[in-house]
Amino acid sequence: MSYDRLIHPLVRENGVPRRATWDEALEQPSPHDNPCVKGQFGYGYV
């Protein structure tokens, strides 16, 4: 059995990860979320 799995969500508060509820974690935007835009060759991510 592997214990390397994430079983509780973490959110960063002042740069420090802390344990959070799933609802709280899903409400926060990801720093990797990029808007989908229409470009010359169709839709894509920037």
Q: Give me the pLDDT at residue 1, please.
A: 58
pLDDT in tens, 7-28: 889 998 898 999 999 899 888 8
Residue ranges of the domains in the chain?
10-45
Task: Give me the pLDDT at residue 40, please.
Answer: 76
Report d(CA 28, CA 31) in Å as an integer. 9
Mean pLDDT of 30-46: 71
Q: What is the pLDDT of residue 41?
A: 79
Taking the C-alpha atoms of residue 8 and residue 23, their distance in angstroms, rounded to an integer, is 11
Q: What is the pLDDT of residue 20?
A: 93
Question: Is 44 or 20 the better-scoring residue by pLDDT?
Answer: 20
